Amino acid sequence: MTRSPRVLVTGSLGQLGTTMVETLRAKFGNENVVASDIKKPAPEKRATGPFVYADVLNYRALEQVVVDYGIDWVVHFSAILSAAGERNPALALNVNVNGFQNVLELAKNHGLRLLSPSTMGAFGPTTPKDATPDLTIMRPNTIYGISKVHMELLGEYYTEKYGVDFRSLRYPGIISADSPPGGGTTDYAVDIFHAALKDNRYACFLKHDTRLPMAYIDDCIVGTMQLLEAPQEALTQRVYNVHACDFSPEELAAEIRRMHSPDFAIEYRPDFRQAIADTWPRTMADTAARNDWGWNPIFGTTDIVRTMLDKLGPTYASVNSSPPAPADAPAVIAQQV
Ligand code: AKB
C-alpha cells in the first residue's frame, strides 16, 4: 500500500484502545484512524481525530463506517473480559461471539486486515501451566476463554476458506497508568498501585502466590503494532502467545514496599476471580512471536513498578495534599480503587 492505511478501532475508549488510537494516529495521521465505541468520549479524545458511535453487534452500522471512511484495517478491541463475563455470560457471549463474527464478515466482504486480540484466558485448567506453548490443550472453563477460543478458530477458518487476513495475539495481563482496565482478573495489578499511593494498603482479590503472565502497556502496544504491520509472508501462524514478565501479588507488593513505602500493607481476600486465575498459565512460551514479527518486550516487573509509581505518584500527591473533601462529595479518583 503506497498511502497510509485507514484503520478502524472498536472499543477505542477501553484500556488498550485509548493508547492504541494515539499510537496509530502518531504513525498514520489523525484523519486515517477512526476511533469507535458505544460510550461518549471525553472532549480531548474527540479532538484528535474522527470518532464514531459503532455498536459491534450491528453489522450494517459497522459496514457504513468501513464504506464512509474507506477503512483498510480493523483493530477489534470490543470484548467483555473474564471477570465481567462470569458476572454476565449472556452479554459476554453476545459481544465476544456475535460482535467478532460481524467484524470477521466485514473483513471478508471488504478485504480488510483484521487484528483481534486473544488472551491467556483462552487456556484452561488442563493446559500445561509453565512455558505454555502456542499449540496445546485449550479447554477453558470461563465464558471469556470459550469465546476467545471460538474467535481464534473462526479467524483461522476464515483465513483458510476465504483468505481473510486475520491476526491475533494472546495477551497476558496488561498494566497501564493511563487508562483503567475493565472487568478482568488481572486488574489487581493496576488497582494495587492506586491503592498504594492513595491509602498505602490494598485488599487483593487473588491469593498471595497466584503467579500470572503480565506486560506493560507500552510493550503490548508496540507488539500489537508489529503484528498489525507485519508482512503476511512473515506469519507462520495466525495466533501468537506473547509473554513479558510474570509475578504474584506478594512479589508485586514486595516491589512496591521497596520502591514506594516499606509500610505498604496488603491483605488477601480471594473472591470468584481466584478460580479464574487458577486455570491460567503461569508463564507462556512466545518464541514464534519473537521470530516471526519481532516481539521483544523491555519492561520487567521492576520497570513496571517504577513506571507506575512515577506516572501515578504526582496525581495522588496533589489529591493527598488537598484539603479533605466534604463527607458527601465523591472521591476524586474513586472509580480507580
Ligand atoms: C482479564 O483478566 O480478563 C484480561 C485478560 C488476561 O485477558 N486482562
Lowest mean pLDDT among 10-24, 162-176, 247-261, 316-330: 316-330
pLDDT mean over 175-193: 94
User: Is residue 210 in contact with ligand 1, taking CB distance under 6 Å?
Assistant: no
List helix spans (H) across the chain.
15-28, 43-47, 59-69, 82-87, 89-93, 100-110, 143-162, 188-199, 217-229, 249-259, 272-277, 287-293, 301-321
- pLDDT range class, residue 62, cuts 50, 70, 90: very high
3-state secondary structure of 169: strand
Comparing CA positions, the residue from 273, 302, 312 lying closest to residue 193 is 312
How does DSSP assign 45-66, residue by residue? HHHTS-EEE--TT-HHHHHHHH
Residues linked to residue 240 through DSSP beta bridges, in sequence order: 169
Distance between CA atoms of residues 96 and 93, nearest Å: 5
Task: Give tens-digit pLDDT for 254-298.
Answer: 999 999 999 999 999 999 999 999 999 999 999 999 999 999 999
- Global pTM exceeds 0.85: yes
Question: What's residue 84's pLDDT?
Answer: 98
Question: What's residue 335's pLDDT?
Answer: 25
Nearest CA to ligand 1 atom 6: 173
Instruction: Collect all residues with Cβ–Cβ distance below 8 Å to 275 and sequence separation of at least 6.
Output: none
Catalytic center residues: 144
Query: What does the angle CA 309 – CA 312 – CA 315 come to, to the nearest 5 degrees?
Result: 135
Percent of the chain with pLDDT over 90: 90
CA separation, residue 299 to residues 43, 78, 167, 308 (Å): 31, 26, 24, 11
Burial of 248-279, coded b for 16+ CB within 10 Å and e otherwise, reads bbeebbbbbeeebeeebebebebeebeebbeb
Task: Give tens-digit pLDDT for 210-231.
Answer: 999 999 999 999 999 999 999 9
Ligand 1: residue of 146, 171, 283 to mutate (most ligand atoms within 8 A of CB) is: 171
Do 127 and 136 contact (CB within 8 A), yes or no? yes
- pLDDT range class, residue 182, cuts 50, 70, 90: confident
User: Is residue 120 in contact with ligand 1, taking CB distance under 6 Å?
Assistant: yes
Nearest CA to ligand 1 atom 4: 184
Instruction: Collect all residues with Cβ–Cβ distance below 8 Å to 334 and sequence separation of at least 6.
Output: none
CA separation, residue 205 to residues 7, 136, 193, 265, 266 (Å): 37, 29, 14, 14, 11
Do 120 and 213 contact (CB within 8 A), yes or no? yes
Which domains are delineated in the chain?
7-174+215-245+285-298 (3.40.50.720)
Whether the pLDDT of residue 333 is over 60: the answer is no
Nearest CA to ligand 1 atom 7: 119
* Backbone dihedral angles phi then psi of residue 11, each to the nearest 5 degrees: 60, 40
Residues present in the chain in total: 337
Do 220 and 171 contact (CB within 8 A), yes or no? yes
Q: Which residue matches cell numbers 512455558?
A: 131
Ligand 1: residue of 119, 147, 148 to mutate (most ligand atoms within 8 A of CB) is: 119
User: Is residue 171 in contact with ligand 1, taking CB distance under 6 Å?
Assistant: yes
* Backbone dihedral angles phi then psi of residue 35, each to the nearest 5 degrees: -90, 140
* Backbone dihedral angles phi then psi of residue 222, each to the nearest 5 degrees: -60, -45
- pLDDT range class, residue 326, cuts 50, 70, 90: very low
pLDDT mean over 235-260: 98
Tell how far the Cα of 173 is from the centroid of ligand 1, in angstroms.
5
Do 299 and 215 contact (CB within 8 A), yes or no? yes
* Residue 289: count of CB within 10 angstroms of its CB: 25
Task: Give tens-digit pLDDT for 6-31.
Answer: 999 999 999 999 999 999 999 999 99
